[in-house]
Amino acid sequence: MGVDLEAVKEHLKAFAESRRGVEAYVEPATNVSAESIILIATDGEWTRRAIGSRRAAFETASSIGLPVYDVLLTGYPGRMREWNSRQRREGKA
């Protein structure tokens, strides 16, 4: 099953336009997940989508005007972990 890049781009663009300080992180494929892109806002809220390839991830983020990083080089920002912790404490995760 292929990735619908237009649908992915629409979702990511809507997320980025409705939140502040969004950055993109490219995640490698694993045994259980495909190559993906994760957008993380200033407050740590995030969204993830399968993207198909590293090239597609970098091109998609750039086309939306987002800074884009390789998560293997940068790691995940602390604000994402903090957001996840808040969600668990509030019973939302």
Domain spans in the chain, listed from the N-terminal domain onward: 5-89
Calculate ∠ Cα 66-14-89, nearest 5°. 90
- Its pTM surpasses 0.85: yes
Q: Indicate whether 93 pLDDT > 70.
A: no
- Judged against a pLDDT cut of 70, whether residue 17 lies above it is answered with yes
Residue 2 pLDDT class (50, 70, 90 cuts): confident
The three-point CA angle 8-33-17 to 5° equals: 25
pLDDT at res. 3 = 84
- Residue environment code for 79-88, b if the CB has 16+ CB neighbours within 10 A, otherwise e: bbeebbeeee
Chain segment 31-54, per-residue pLDDT in tens: 988 899 999 999 999 999 999 899
How many Å apart are CA 84 and CA 78, to the nearest integer? 10
pLDDT band at 16 (very low <50, low <70, confident <90, very high): very high
